[in-house]
Structure 1
Amino acid sequence: MLWLPFLLVAWTAAAVSCARLCLAAVEAAKPPHRPETPADRDRVRELSLYEAAFLAGGPSRVTELTLVSMHRRRRLLLAHTGWATVVDPAGEDDLERSVIGAIGPGGQSRTAAVRTAAARSPAVHALADRLVAAGLAVPEGARAAVGASIRAVRGATALTVLLAAAVPLLLPAGHVPPGPGMAWFALPLVLTLGCLVIARIEVHPYTRWASPAGQRLLARVTPRDPLTAVAIGGVAAVDDPALRAALSAP
């Protein structure tokens, strides 16, 4: 019976991690203020380019869109060598000013560093807060909780396999259970694997930036121009190879 503690640990890890994932998914699915009504569903709301970029790819996508927009209007120069240079230091909105501020007083900085700093700026956080308040974006806390819960279930799956493999290796021959006894380890494994499959189908939308309401609005946005294509598709949608190389530089 020395193998029973191994089985108990596997069952506990599987049950706790799956329960945690279920609770996180329920919390992520809750509307921010009130349940969505059919009228809300049918109401036509135009997303701005910045809003579409956030819902499609989060803060980094907003920064990519801002950089491309400023480069196309000759307010910023993005070199294929990976450097960003300010041409016009007067930003037209908070997001442009956050990019200029991320470049610094010298007027030149590495593009990768600018993208990282601008994505964490107060302007991007304010945009995220507005979308969350409107019920179009998933709160950061809910996204983090779902992601952490899924990792916990994966960890419980690996732990179950390791414990099942450790029983015949670590225990004396007389204490190793027969085949039917080892089959008990399959039950927590089935539980965690089944939970991961269900999470892939049901929970996966809540790990994205857009809520179900935001995803419906985002589906109405068509890449009718180069900036809209970048907002939806990111750097891969940039039609200028030199600019795409500038944004892709490490």
Structure 2
Amino acid sequence: MRQIVLDTETTGLSAEGGDRIIELGCVELYARKLTGNNLHFYFNPERDSHEDALKVHGISNEFLRDKPKFAELTEEILDYLSDAELIIHNAAFDIGFLNKELERVGKKPLKAYVSNVIDTLAMAKEMFPGKRNSLDALCDRLEVDNSGRTLHGALLDAELLADVYINMTRGQEALLIDAGDAQTDASGVAVQVDLSGFTLPVISANEQEIAAHEEVLTQMDKSSGGKTIWRQQASAH
């Protein structure tokens, strides 16, 4: 599946209040590997950034003066994102800004162009309840090197988030034999075997195996003085 890890920088916190996107950074993952097919733009937001926002991203108003407007690049952006699954940290924020930019140029909301959106902040809150789950905190927890992140930047943050996402979902690779440990073909090249498409057979226990299992349960029940939970539940029904 083609996945796009996406991040934005903005003039402020309120898309509805008139704040605009000033930077879009996207990195592409295919089969959980970075492809190098990235997308990165700065935009002239036609307004100044709030002082608090400037402290976060450090992108000056002067730097953005000669950059293209979002409307000029909308088609290229949508072509790139088309049918991909998006991976975004605190997705509601970025999606809200992108939807507002699309609305300004008469386009449908972003969900009409992509297959799905994964919010890594929501994922992190489930995986690490009660802990800080900012991008920096996740980088520290998952040992992703973020030493170059002195200020927020859309492309750098997307690259870091890609590493974070891969680490957060590493258990999903359980059915893939790693290429380093895989079989090799006749030329000695490692072959990755994807087992996810295989249907595993269901083999039922025979009468002898069921009887042996029941005997083990009976002995365990005797040892506990008749206090095993499964026997109590069985008798209740």
Q: TM-score range by the shorter chain?
A: under 0.3
Give the structure with the larger strand fraction. Answer: 2
Q: Which has the higher contact order (CA 8 A, sep 6+)?
A: 1
Provide TM-score, normalisation by structure 1.
0.19
Larger helix fraction of residues: 1
The structure with the larger Rg is 2
